[in-house]
Amino acid sequence: MVQVMDVLVDIDATLVYPAGGGPPVDDSVQAPLLNRYSLAHGALEFLAALDCYTHDQESAEKSPIRMRGGLYSCGRHARNCSLAKALVEAIHKRLGYHFTQKLEAFSVPNGNCGKKILRGLRRGLDLHRTILVDDGGRNVHPGEESNLLKIYDFASHSHDLTYAHKLYRARLSNNLVRALGMIIMSVTASNASDGTATVVEALHNLQWDSDNMYHHGSSNAKAIYDQGLKAMQALNPGLCLAYPTTSPWSLICSEAEEAAVFPRCQDLIIQDCSDVL
């Protein structure tokens, strides 16, 4: 029996931005417009890659893993559903890919105080195999922090020309390439653990150390971007990294700059990330 792995993806400032309001990218990879929104770099390829991904377990005793994507937003439900439909149509038109599963859109009820509760969200969802891709941490429901795959936040983007901020721009613009690579590597690490680590535990280990400090280095390894880009290029061979001259996996030499641009404390990233990261 196939094991279902759910990947819920935030919409605003993760997959799309208001028209003309997203992170700057090179003209060669300028995101096309989708209705009133500008697509994040690799957004269509990211969603299609989730839909077609299947991980065949090495052991016959283990069931293969099939990803099931979905959108999860604090926006209006009618807007979310309309956007999900438009994204699927754009993927078919621009990539020639037909979705094999319905791309469902989930909305945060008013009574949830903006929290994106994962448990019980959809039939068959297993928290040990569920990942929330989001640029904000305030929406994480208490107890589900390990399910969060934190991408970089556009609200903290600076137009400063320091190397640190150029690096932030490169990481921000390649958010979804990195996120897909982290998802694939978490599945691979879980499988290699021979059952001792779930996908979510593998993701947690990739992002956090034992003191709950964020791994900005290992979670941005070149191998992660290579994995994500390879999966996207299987659907769109012409896709490349945004800002290829500024490698997003590079490290900042100054510890002070690193700490200022890339906070590591979990309290800052999870609880107040929309103000800080």
pLDDT digits (tens, 9 = 90+) for 160-206: 667 777 888 899 999 999 999 999 999 999 989 887 899 999 999 99
Q: Tell me what pLDDT residue 250 has.
A: 84
Q: Tell me what pLDDT residue 272 has.
A: 45
pLDDT digits (tens, 9 = 90+) for 113-158: 778 999 999 999 999 999 999 998 888 999 999 999 999 888 666 5
| Residue 273, pLDDT above cutoff 50 | no
Q: What is the mean pLDDT of residues 239-258?
A: 79
Bridge partners of 104? 70
Query: If you average pLDDT over every residue of the chain, what do you get?
Result: 85
CA dihedral sign of residues 165, 167, 168, 173: positive
Q: What is the mean pLDDT of residues 81-97?
A: 94
Q: Does 210 or 83 have the greater pLDDT score?
A: 83
| Residue 56, pLDDT above cutoff 70 | no
| Residue 26, pLDDT above cutoff 60 | no
Q: Where are the domains of the chain?
A: 3-276
pTM above 0.85, yes or no: yes
Q: Where on the phi/psi map is residue 138: left (φ > 0), alpha (ψ -120 to 50), or beta? A: alpha
